[in-house]
Structure 1
Amino acid sequence: MTTPTTDNPHPHQPYGTPDAPRIAVRGEAQLEVDPEIARLGISVTARGKDRRTALDDLTRRNATVLDLIKSYGDAVDRLETGTFSLTPQLKDKGRGERVHAYHGHVHITAELTDFTTLGELATRLADLELTHVDGPSWALRPDSPAHRQARQQAVKEAVQRAREYAEALGTTLAALVELADIGAENTQPLAPTGSRRMRSMSYAADEDTAAAPLDLEPQRQHVHAQVNARFTMAPPQL
């Protein structure tokens, strides 16, 4: 036990005292909410016998993809280009380093907030020449109200649990001593269930034979929050 001093007349008591016993509890909240963002990963490729042909084809296809995504206006919240590469492929046989072909690659990420156009855009992208589409992956915004709601619910659950312990001892809570946030996070399953993922590489089709839009159902998101709380209570009559 810490001895009182003139510099510390009220020393810290980590376990409480008979006059001010403590209760330590954990509050948790689990919410299931609708997603706010859908991400599509688009990979554009090109292949040519010479560097310039491969680069020109890649530039053209990349511009086609970007123009198509931008045509959806405000439905697209973010559009980013990730990796770009143009790699020579050497012949397996023969003397010296002889280039057989060049392979070009550009990766693009599109985030959509309007899910009504998601299936149509994904299908049109997959229908483009040498274009590979991966997604959608669902998520919440970092500042989503769902995170705040989960944290507040976790705090209320901690208070309610502490009150129940105090009531079991025939007493009441006196004061909050500590509230520790130990995380509120949007947990994404490693292998999402209920979502539909699409991978495709195809050549452009005629307008008369365009593929019908995919029906993509949003995957519900799980939000988890936890807090540790410590309270003092009035001394119980044991």
Structure 2
Amino acid sequence: MSDAPVVAVRGEAYREVAPELARFTVTVSARDRDRETTLTRLAERAAAVRVLLDAAGPVVERRENGQLRVWPETRRSGERVVAYHGSVTTAVTVADFTALGELMLRLADQDQVEVAGPWWALRPDSPAYREARHAAIADALARAREYAEALGARVTALVELADTGLAAAPPMLAKAAYARAGDAPPELELDPQPQPVQAAVEARFTISEPVLG
């Protein structure tokens, strides 16, 4: 077996699959000359955001409180504080895309709230990754068989298989469109972005003795 001819190939697979998650951030801000007033307003606005997220129920799969920032605003000529600023950011993960636009608009309608996103992604354990790996192995075997056939031989055994990496595109920002007609509530149309998934393997196979000439 060790003296058998060997063919080395690379197998690749590329897929574009529907996203499984959408992530966006909600940032509440406050500003006032008095520090305590700034903190109070910030807490109240953050609480209002929490109420809306709680009301969304299972639509919100996960939420994480991010960075809290409180800083003074000073005059250029010295250290005299003229106002205090504060902000709190919450990262929200949603799996139900049908309710995503409505939820984002409700949050954006709050006082001193900034909403950014969504960014589309796959779950870390998405079946798409497994399917891509299987497809890459199948591609490697198909290539090995093609080379063997061209030599008048056939693939006999696998010698080595190496995973060269599984790649997924970074989260992609959605395309959004707002529409308002008269007194009707605003609507937000979101186009989920397909997620590219790519897998590659390197494989070595033994083949039967080639028929040359």
TM-score (norm 1): 0.83
Q: Which residue of the partner structure matches residue 69 of structure 1? A: 53
Of the three residues 128, 137, 142, the one matched with 1:160 is: 142
Residue 187 of structure 2 is aligned to residue 227 of structure 1: no
Of the three residues 186, 191, 194, the one matched with 1:212 is: 186
Cα deviation code 1:101-158 (max 9, x no counterpart): 0000111100000001100011111111111111010000000000000000000010
**Cα offset, 1:75, TM superposition:** 1.2
**Cα offset, 1:42, TM superposition:** 1.1
3-state SS of paired residue (2:24): strand
**Cα offset, 1:196, TM superposition:** 1.3
For the 8 Å contact 1:179–1:229, the answer to whether it is kept is yes
Of the three residues 73, 84, 90, the one matched with 1:89 is: 73
RMSD, aligned α-carbons: 1.9
| Percent sequence identity over aligned pairs | 50
Q: How does 1:88-167 map to 2 (within 5 A)?
A: 88-93=72-77, 97-167=79-149
Q: Which aligned runs of 4 or more in structure 1 are off by greater than 3 angstroms?
A: 208-211
3-state SS of paired residue (1:66): helix
CA distance in 2, matches of 1:47, 1:53: 8
3-state SS of paired residue (1:60): helix
CA distance in 2, matches of 1:43, 1:152: 41
3-state SS of paired residue (2:22): strand
The one-letter amino acid paired with 2:19 is: P
CA distance in 2, matches of 1:222, 1:168: 33
CA distance in 2, matches of 1:73, 1:133: 19
Of the three residues 56, 62, 65, the one matched with 2:40 is: 56
The one-letter amino acid paired with 2:165 is: G
For the 8 Å contact 1:127–1:211, the answer to whether it is kept is no
The one-letter amino acid paired with 1:220 is: P
CA distance in 2, matches of 1:129, 1:73: 22
**Cα offset, 1:64, TM superposition:** 0.7
Decide which structure has the larger Cα Rg and report it.
1
The one-letter amino acid paired with 1:214 is: L
Higher strand share: 2
TM-score (norm 2): 0.92
Q: Which residue of the partner structure matches residue 7 of structure 1? A: none
Q: Which residue of the partner structure matches residue 196 of structure 1? A: 175
Q: Which residue of the partner structure matches residue 12 of structure 1? A: none
3-state SS of paired residue (1:128): coil
The runs of 5 or more residues in structure 1 that have no matched partner are: 1-15, 199-207
